[in-house]
Structure 1
């Protein structure tokens, strides 16, 4: 009985709320479903990150980028019912992926009335005045909110084996606003969606020897495809494509020719691009897939009152391509002007490598009602550069946890983890996969606090 209590304790002490691969947040553990008998738990994780950087490389400025991270609040809940000795049912809720950032201060990620539009001498103010529209204002920001509800059915042919599978309902909601001269024609771009839901699945198996506190599980989660109808605004493109905007550009190009800074051939090419931008105003469906993943979780008794635990996780981030519909159509036009040239278009968010992460720790009984743990972790990140996706390339972490159990059937636990966040280079979508970048993020860190309650009934 004491070893069973220890297994419950150690699996609950350390918060699993992470800051991994920019978007990966919870680790998607199924440990709650693998508890014996009927079980319920709920948790809350709070992450305070310091994500500061500097304009760099192809960014014309050299200004600091103040902390762009908002405090992240992330909750999970689980209910597991043992229907009979052979069958169990579980509901797992978590918020596995997400991002919430905002640029501020005096830098090229914040809109100003003097921002250039396509050509030197044409500012957002001048274009807005010519077309009777509004000048883009505000900060660049992005918020991605993804939530999962997993419904799992397990089959236990013996006390040692557990085979399980189920469906996953996933919701997606996002708001992205690009501001500042660094985004060129996308200065003022908005991508707003309502919450949409789609289905995926999971499957796995677990092996345990309860009397030795040994447990291991392997779980696969499928990718989930979303199709969303978003509200997309590209105000500078709409201004340029208007009659007044085309006239302003044509007059300005004539002026540049008159002072020897433009050739007639170049003028014709730019006028053609402006005309093509006017054909990108259709609204369509944005399609993308959240990544599939594999989790290996394990624990084993070392001696009486001591447990070794850990996990290994793989996430298929290299397949993520997030290209909003109109964003993509515009990108096919402006990609011809980018460095390097990208006439095929580019993505709003893109990662370049799969994510690998690992955590290992030791838990110790300190008294009949108190348990403690210490853990270390590593995350590979998803590539050296992140295209409009987040200024983090992996991490190392160190965690401490404690649990108090007033009785054998319930507990409250808390944990804290400190993350040394990996340096990353921020790219624009048009620069994806190249050596060009616009920002450096170095020497950043994060602290996550977690609180969990659990009850066996």
Structure 2
């Protein structure tokens, strides 16, 4: 396989692993996957990506009334830039939207306390990274992350409209990797620290003091390996410490909390068809927790399939990916049942080596 077709094929593994990452979460406000793979690209490198995600979430109340589609379509953006300082040292900057949620109940009175209820999370993060090659295939990487977050949890029927106003917190990233260039193989382990937020709170449009909470720490394991001149396997596992998240407010009390941590896994196979074209299929899986879930994030576990392709021309790679996910069945804290739901996600990325 020529160098150019290798570039096409391995560019696809990055795209398949990161595009539509907004659809990987089940029952938690996870969006981006917090991958740092751009730091491993060769030379000077930049990328921009866009994703659109449309969940279909319907259910039935404990009284037998139908719950119409709760999942709002949402869009996400990400970008990265990386540059070598010398043969051993490189730096990069990654922008993503790590946390997010868009759930809306209609104003049907059969929804009870959740009539006209909604939750919306918006976030943005910038991570400044450095990587140093130790020799013999080993390297270390790490950096600092700045993260903004705003949360609305509104229950008009209960007379409780809560806003966690925009705040900024800081954390760090650290990890290590091992590569075998002759086999186009790499395995990396990256730890993202918790990020503390101290935010002003509004309750029914009135000042409600402050709240302090930590967005959870996580651990990412990512790998790829060429099994033939035209075929590569790749995958990832991501653990998130959701049980550490506890958001309390003065007027409402416990506003956000989770009973279980999550482990998200993905596996894919990519194949180069020519110097310009490559394709891949991916499988995503998150095991269900079998615990009651929030009525404002009513899924538990997931299984997904994706198909993608990359076109390379000169130093530019254009990638696209479509994923269909089966959202895990769930019973909410209020006793509502959500079954047989799906999510459709599409993503597009353009990347260039300079």
Q: TM-score range by the shorter chain?
A: over 0.9
Which residue, out of 69, 79, 82, partners 2:81?
79
Which residue, out of 25, 28, 36, partners 1:20?
25
Q: Is the 8 A contact 1:228 1:286 kept in 2?
A: yes
- Report the TM-score when normalising by structure 1: 0.73
Q: Is the 8 A contact 2:39 2:82 kept in 1?
A: yes
Q: Is the 8 A contact 2:219 2:240 kept in 1?
A: yes
2:222 — aligned with what?
A: 297
Give 4+ residue runs of structure 1 displaced > 6 Å after superposition: none
2:346 — aligned with what?
A: 449
> In the alignment, is residue 358 of structure 1 matched against residue 265 of structure 2?
yes
Task: State the distance in 2 between where 1:210 and 1:17 align.
Answer: 30
Deviations 1:18-40 (A, max 9, x none): 24132112211111111111110
Deviation at 1:444, TM superposition (A): 0.5
Q: Is the 8 A contact 2:319 2:348 kept in 1?
A: yes
Q: CA RMSD in A?
A: 2.0
Q: Is the 8 A contact 2:139 2:177 kept in 1?
A: yes
Q: Is the 8 A contact 2:324 2:345 kept in 1?
A: yes
Q: Is the 8 A contact 1:179 1:189 kept in 2?
A: yes
Deviations 1:377-414 (A, max 9, x none): 1012555212344001110000100011122x111000
Q: Is the 8 A contact 2:8 2:276 kept in 1?
A: no
Deviation at 1:282, TM superposition (A): 8.0
Task: State the distance in 1 between where 2:101 and 2:123 align.
Answer: 9
Which residue, out of 200, 210, 229, partners 2:200?
229
1:8-407 alignment runs, 5 A limit: 8-13=11-16, 15=19, 16-22=21-27, 23-56=29-62, 61-109=63-111, 139-158=116-135, 160-180=137-157, 187-233=158-204, 283-328=208-253, 347-381=254-288, 384-407=291-314
Deviation at 1:105, TM superposition (A): 4.5
Task: State the distance in 2 between where 1:19 and 1:297 align.
Answer: 15
Deviations 1:196-219 (A, max 9, x none): 111011100111122211011100
Task: State the distance in 1 between where 2:85 and 2:251 align.
Answer: 49
Gaps of 5+ in 1: 113-137, 181-186, 235-280, 329-346, 428-436
How many residues end up aligned between the 2 structures? 348
Deviation at 1:5, TM superposition (A): 4.4
Task: State the distance in 2 between where 1:107 and 1:423 align.
Answer: 24
Deviations 1:282-308 (A, max 9, x none): 832112111100000000000011100
| Structure with more of its chain in helix, by fraction | 1
Rg bigger for which structure?
1
Gaps of 5+ in 2: none
Q: Is the 8 A contact 1:65 1:105 kept in 2?
A: no
Deviations 1:55-100 (A, max 9, x none): 11xxxx4321100111010111011111111211111111111101
Q: Is the 8 A contact 2:49 2:348 kept in 1?
A: yes
Q: Is the 8 A contact 2:108 2:116 kept in 1?
A: no
Q: Is the 8 A contact 1:202 1:221 kept in 2?
A: yes
Task: State the distance in 1 between where 2:46 and 2:277 align.
Answer: 20
